[in-house]
Amino acid sequence: MNDPLFNKPSELIIEGELQGNDKLRIKMLEDVSLMTQETKYQILNAMLKMHKYFENYCGDLEVSLNTINEIAENTQPLYIILDDTSTMETRAIRYHYACNWETDHGVEVMVLNGNQVIFVGNCGYTYGVLLASIDSALSLQDEELNFL
């Protein structure tokens, strides 16, 4: 499946409980395909903010990027994950990216209901914090390492 942010191939992962729920799975795939330009711009800006944070925090990185176009050129999609804590009312999709500007962890983006971006940060950060329920994902919006 093509990643909606970069229109490049990405591996689709459908988590456990969604395997047998065709209606919800189809709606979530529709959410992926309907990501708006505004949402894409919001995600790319958050990625640039994340890069600049690590550039300042870590000092000398191998690459220094200054625009969202440079972020896009240096980021590759890995996974689109349909989160199994989703319901028809609250659908969570996680996108994972590899990038040469955050080589230790990569970037994870979490989007609810197609276009509500709630997290942009290190891959794996959300897993330990939230995946007990989507409601707790909303609390990530105030986390220091959420670069929205």
Residue 125 has pLDDT above 70, yes or no: no
Tens digits of residue pLDDT in 1-40: 999 999 999 999 988 777 778 899 999 999 999 999 999 9
With H, G, I as helix, E, B as strand and everything else as coil, classify residue 142: helix
User: What are the angstrom distances between the C-alpha of 39 and each of 22, 74, 103, 123, 143?
Assistant: 26, 19, 24, 19, 20
Q: Are 41 and 68 in contact (CB under 8 A)?
A: yes
Q: Where are the domains of the chain?
A: 11-142
* Cβ partners under 8 Å of residue 34, min gap 6: 114, 115
Helices and strands of the chain, counted as H and E runs? 5, 5
CA–CA gap between residue 92 and residue 130 (Å, rounded): 11
Residue 62, token pair as written in the block: 């191998």
CA–CA gap between residue 61 and residue 40 (Å, rounded): 25
Residue 84 has pLDDT above 90, yes or no: no
Tens digits of residue pLDDT in 108-121: 999 999 999 999 99
